[in-house]
Amino acid sequence: MTTERLEHRACFGGWQDVYRHRSEVLGCDMSVGVYYPPQAADGPCPVLYWLSGLTCSEQNFITKAGAQRYAAQHGIILVAPDTSPRGADVADAQRYDLGQGAGFYLDATQPPWAAHYRMHEYIAQELPAWVEADPAASDVRAIAGHSMGGHGALVLALRNPGRYRSVSAFAPIVAPSQVPWGEQAFAAYLGEDRAAWRRWDACALIADARERLPLLVDQGEADEFLATQLRPELLRAACAAAGHPLTLHLRPGYDHSYYFIASFIGEHLAWHAAALRGG
């Protein structure tokens, strides 16, 4: 796989890198942020995959969340991919919530999207294979994300039992089949058959989950998208009905921004560190 390092910056005793590599699954070049903590120099470290939200690239998390400080403390590699395939030959839309920058971490089945938009396969299979080819990275994995990326993290964990030791999300779209962002994206990428949408909806997947991996979710109560797009009460109800473990923090005063993520990312990294250690 062709790889080019674009950035290499010292950070909390480790290195914040950005790479461009060729994705055969997506049929385009992808940019990925990778933080190597200082412990990576001495042997394989576990990996946390971070999935960002609508309009984001690999840059948002690595420049705004402040997660490297905590990753260095716990000895965790952070991998932050772009949010969709990109390029002149990749389908796009004239809106921020569909097309490039809005991959929704699913495998599209409808034209013109199906040719490139296979973010689930990329995150679950191709990206870890690329990461774990580096001897600094182990195959012990966790996953987390924000908003659209929170949806992606929950769905990837639920659809791939045994692949991740832990999962968490900030302000996730928990029931995309029932909110405008998800309905628009699913109709475009998957077609109008709502039965097919259930495979990409965390609340629908909870009922039949083969692994009871505990979920950690933080949600700001001042989030402008809370009532219309995020609806964490639906996740709480789905988990209660299925007996699925959920820790849901509702944070007064916090909005949808990276100020919110930066405020609690340390708690999330500690949660993942405990699971990645097996404790």
Catalytic annotation, residues: 147, 223, 256
Q: 62 to each of 37, 51, 68, 219, 249, how far by Cα in Å?
A: 13, 11, 8, 21, 23
For every residue of the chain, DSSP letters joined together read: --EEEEEEEEETTEEEEEEEEEETTTTEEEEEEEEE-GGGGTS-EEEEEEE--TT--THHHHHHS-HHHHHHHHT-EEEEE-SS--STTS---SSTTSBTTB-TTSB--STTGGGT-BHHHIIIIIHHHHHHTSTTEEEEEEEEEETHHHHHHHHHHHHSTTS-SEEEEES----GGGSHHHHHHHHHHH-S-HHHHGGG-HHHHHTT-SS-PPEEEEEETT-TTIIIII-HHHHHHHHHHHT--EEEEEETT--SSHHHHHHHHHHHHHHHHHHHTT-
Q: What's the confidence (pLDDT) of residue 2?
A: 85
Yes or no: is domain 3-277 CATH 3.40.50.1820? yes
Per-residue pLDDT at 111: 98
Whether residue 279 is predicted with pLDDT greater than 80 in this model: the reply is: no
Q: Mean pLDDT across the stretch 85-99?
A: 96
Mean predicted lDDT score pLDDT of the chain: 97
Residue 245 has pLDDT above 90, yes or no: yes
Task: Check the CA dihedral 168-1-189-228 and report its sign.
Answer: positive
Q: Where are the domains positioned within the chain?
A: 3-277
pLDDT at residue 45 in the model: 98
Q: Which two tokens stand for residue 5?
A: 């390092």
| Residue 246 CB burial class (10 angstroms; 0-12, 13-18, ≥19) | middle
pLDDT tens-digit readout, 158-198 = 999 999 999 999 999 999 999 999 999 999 999 999 999 99
Q: Is 60 exceeded by the pLDDT of residue 42? A: yes
Tokens read off for 243: 């007996």
pTM of the model: 0.97
Token couple for 256: 């949808």
If pLDDT is split at 50, 70 and 90, which confidence band does 227 have?
very high
Residue 228 neighbours by CB under 8 Å, 6+ apart: 179, 180
What's the whole-number mean pLDDT along residues 236-247? 98
- Residue 264 tokens read as 């609690």
